Chain A
Amino acid sequence: MRSAWIKTAFAVSALWWVYLFFTTQFIVVFDSIGYEESGKMIAHQGWAEFLRHGPQREPMFPGLVALSMQLGDWWGISYHYPLKMIGLLFLSLTMFLSYRLMSMLSVRPFIAALAILYMGISPVMTNSSMRSWSEFAAYPWVVLAVIWTIRAWKLLDNLSDERRSNIRIIGHAGILAFMFLGVMSVKAVAEGVLLLYLWPFYWQFVSQWRSGNIIKARQVAVFCLTVLIVFEGVVGAYKWCNYHYNGHFTFTNRGDWAFYGNTARRMQPLTLEKLGAAVAYVPGMGICNSVYSPKDCYYWSPDYSDVIISNKFGDLNKQGIKDGSASKYFILNSVKMIFSNSLQAVLLMIIEAHKMFFWESSLAFVVYPEWMDKSVYSTMVLYSLRVLFAFLSWLACLSALKEARKNPGLFWVINFVFWYMAVYSLFFILDRYSFPLVSLYLVLISFLINKIVSFTTR
């Protein structure tokens, strides 16, 4: 961190955090009540009890809540404060790692500093890091995973000596798997993302094999297999723990039914009004309601898919289909529905994925001082930021897709963003699901601005 701009960005962010740390308070409602209970369980009765009451949500965040509770007890204060400190620690790590990533992409220090500063004071990043919801715990892992893949890709490109290389390959693969496990322990969707994210390695294996470069092909194969074996080994072990303690061979307590509810809704006959409402729903329910009828908008809300799921649960219960069998039923039938009209499924997935661009200004569950609500976090400011950053993120992704061939670093950033969006688009995307991508969006935006500046100053 040699640039004075970067140091200033970190210093200004830190001052802002100190102010927010003492003047804001998060509230415990909805999912965070569950996190609080899980945290209490882990802190006072241990992980075995947490698993016994499972399957539960992904384990990292409840673990952090438990740690905060223990620190809170030790310091004699509410666990909210240690949790906010952990959140800010994760945010600062993310900023540091994003700076590293921008350096790898040769972004100018001043532009990188602006991106870092925005990350540090962004309404959504500070809001999400100072509340009792899990997303912030995924931020550094996402950037780390991308940085490490770039390193591993370069390593495989430059390796020639087979004997010495195997240990380095396995080491790099193991670390990459560990980083994805970090993401997985907050967002279970990482399992699907990893399998698809590694496609350039699969492709390289095939192309090297076909061109007769067996040594290279073997190196790539060793890398892929190590990543997948380590990753799936740990995930499988956790699933096995769940099976041992609560009889469910699964990572989390949801997914299958959420997938079914959303697919069943999407695969119903599509009218022009419904399609229009789906598009209008992308920026938010409020926009949809101002253009279409509340009934059309309700159709695309999570509440409607919840109704479908609860009705289906009722039907399955009557038929005696429960637990594992119900899970299989949900997944199989969802896949069947998707293949029955793939075009509609893909179209609606693309529309759903666009929700991921509207990440800024989705503030919730934190109470701010009155002056902030009236000025910097006023509805007008927040909506403007939301639209501006959605547009910038979209533009930066398009530009990155175009540039990705020439720049392997950029390629891995956009590759992660793409697969993360693709896997999530199978489900209903809430604003907060896009938060782990924010650091990557800001890296892409800074890369785009850097390119524009380079072009104009040439």
Chain B
Amino acid sequence: MIPVYKKYSLLALFFFLGVTQLIWFWMAPENFKSVWKNNLLVAHIIKQHNLIEEKSKILTISYYYPGLSYFAHFIIGDERPDKGRIGGSFHTYYQMAVDLMPNIDAAHFLLGFCEYYMGNPDEARLQFEKSVDLNPYYFWSYYNLGVIYFKQGDFLQSAVILNKTFTLKNEITLGILHQDPFYQQIWHYLDDPGQILESDLSDGKNDAALLLADCFVKAGARPQALQIIQHVGQGSIRHKEIWDRLKKIAVSRQSITDDIDRLIQEQIPVRLF
């Protein structure tokens, strides 16, 4: 049995040692601190502590995962985005992803898509711009940005953005689509994702060219417009009617009629990929 006075003096000693160690740790020079930090257990705790930050973000987002088979239907084209549905769990999921991982371009892109179909084109534009800033090699961010500017009547800005799409390599965009987990969550519902993503990208490039040609005609830059029309539009089955009419207008130096604008706006929407 330890006498009471010994017990308390021991406690006081431990307390004193603890306090002095804390003061020492605070005031010690860096090289002393590094000795402490290199202690195996402490190093392990510090490493785990740093890793856990990222892991917790991923786990938080995963709790909001809504199941994205609905999105896969937009790619196949058998369903159009519905404002009510998009504005629910899908928007929440991507908003959460953007809040927690603001440096992931795909999260901004997909949030932009949701915002657009919820009727917020300005917010959508902002998200696509962030996506472009974070990843300047991804075709679909430029494409959607160009489409929104076009629909908002800012043809100059639309042309500037869409012009950049011609410098982008298809392989890079396809690589991003294949590797990014946010995109994977959507295309893994498709039967033949590789083929669909590739053909959609080719369609997207065609549509971007059509929009750009239209912008050039509107701006009076007809030689440039004709160049695109001859380069891309010639022999294109996709939107053949619009290409033909655009060519006629560019050659005859007429101005673009409302019905062509309407047709373009109807047939070239903001897309997933």
Enumerate chain A interface residues (CB-CB to B < 8 A).
19, 22-30, 365, 367, 369-370
- Whether a CB of chain A sits under 8 angstroms from the CB of B52 is yes
Are the CB atoms of B45 and A367 closer together than 8 Å? no
- Whether a CB of chain A sits under 8 angstroms from the CB of B40 is no
- Whether a CB of chain A sits under 8 angstroms from the CB of B39 is no
Q: How distant is B91 from chain A, measured CB to nearest CB, in Å?
A: 16
Beyond A19-B45, A26-B56, 20 extra complex contacts between A and B, CB < 8 Å: A22-B45, A22-B48, A22-B49, A23-B45, A23-B48, A23-B52, A24-B52, A25-B52, A25-B53, A27-B56, A27-B59, A27-B63, A28-B60, A29-B64, A30-B63, A365-B63, A367-B55, A367-B56, A367-B59, A369-B51
> Are A369 and B63 also in contact (CB < 8 A) when A25-B53, A27-B56 are?
no
Are the CB atoms of A23 and B49 closer together than 8 Å? yes
Return the 4 tightest CB-CB contacts between A and B, nearest first: A23-B48, A367-B56, A27-B60, A369-B48
Question: Within 8 Å CB of B52, what residues of A?
Answer: 23-25, 367, 369
Would you call the interface of chain B mostly helix, strand, loop, or mixed? helix
Interface residues on B, range: 10 to 19
Please give me the residue from chain B that is nearest to A27 by CB atom: B60
Q: How distant is A420 from chain B, measured CB to nearest CB, in Å?
A: 28
Give the complex CA separation of A397 and B130 in angstroms.
Answer: 59
Question: Within 8 Å CB of B56, what residues of A?
Answer: 25-27, 367
22 contacts between A and B (CB under 8 A): A19-B45, A22-B45, A22-B48, A22-B49, A23-B45, A23-B49, A23-B52, A24-B52, A25-B53, A27-B56, A27-B59, A27-B60, A27-B63, A28-B60, A29-B63, A30-B63, A367-B52, A367-B55, A367-B56, A367-B59, A369-B48, A370-B51
Q: How distant is A94 from chain B, measured CB to nearest CB, in Å?
A: 25
Q: How distant is A365 from chain B, measured CB to nearest CB, in Å?
A: 8
Q: How distant is A84 from chain B, measured CB to nearest CB, in Å?
A: 13
Give the complex CA separation of A27 and B60 in angstroms.
Answer: 6
Please give me the residue from chain A that is nearest to B58 by CB atom: A367
Q: What are the interface flags for B29-61 relative to A under an 8 Å C-beta threshold, 1 for contact and 0 otherwise?
A: 000000000000000010011011101100110
Question: Within 8 Å CB of A24, what residues of B?
Answer: 52
Question: Within 8 Å CB of A369, what residues of B?
Answer: 48, 51-52
Enumerate chain B interface residues (CB-CB to A < 8 A).
45, 48-49, 51-53, 55-56, 59-60, 63-64
Q: How distant is A357 from chain B, measured CB to nearest CB, in Å?
A: 26
Give the complex CA separation of A30 and B64 in angstroms.
Answer: 9
Give the complex CA separation of A321 and B49 in angstroms.
Answer: 52
Question: Within 8 Å CB of A367, what residues of B?
Answer: 52, 55-56, 59
Give the complex CA separation of A19 and B63 in angstroms.
Answer: 26
Give the complex CA separation of A457 and B145 in angstroms.
Answer: 80
Question: Within 8 Å CB of B63, what residues of A?
Answer: 27, 29-30, 365
Question: Within 8 Å CB of B51, what residues of A?
Answer: 369-370
Please give me the residue from chain B that is nearest to A18 by CB atom: B45
Please give me the residue from chain B that is nearest to A372 by CB atom: B48
Give the complex CA separation of A28 and B61 in angstroms.
Answer: 10
Give the complex CA separation of A435 and B48 in angstroms.
Answer: 28
Question: Within 8 Å CB of B48, what residues of A?
Answer: 22-23, 369
Give the complex CA separation of A365 and B59 in angstroms.
Answer: 8
Q: How distant is B125 from chain A, measured CB to nearest CB, in Å?
A: 29
Give the complex CA separation of A24 and B49 in angstroms.
Answer: 7
Question: Within 8 Å CB of B59, what residues of A?
Answer: 27, 367
Give the complex CA separation of A370 and B49 in angstroms.
Answer: 11
Give the complex CA separation of A58 and B207 in angstroms.
Answer: 57
Please give me the residue from chain A that is nearest to B63 by CB atom: A29
Give the complex CA separation of A162 and B48 in angstroms.
Answer: 63
Give the complex CA separation of A370 and B51 in angstroms.
Answer: 9
Please give me the residue from chain A that is nearest to B57 by CB atom: A27
Q: How distant is A129 from chain B, measured CB to nearest CB, in Å?
A: 17
Give the complex CA separation of A29 and B51 in angstroms.
Answer: 20
Give the complex CA separation of A25 and B100 in angstroms.
Answer: 15
Give the complex CA separation of A101 and B33 in angstroms.
Answer: 45
Question: Within 8 Å CB of B49, what residues of A?
Answer: 22-23
Question: Within 8 Å CB of A370, what residues of B?
Answer: 51
Give the complex CA separation of A336 and B59 in angstroms.
Answer: 43
Give the complex CA separation of A24 and B60 in angstroms.
Answer: 14
Give the complex CA separation of A369 and B63 in angstroms.
Answer: 19
Give the complex CA separation of A370 and B64 in angstroms.
Answer: 22
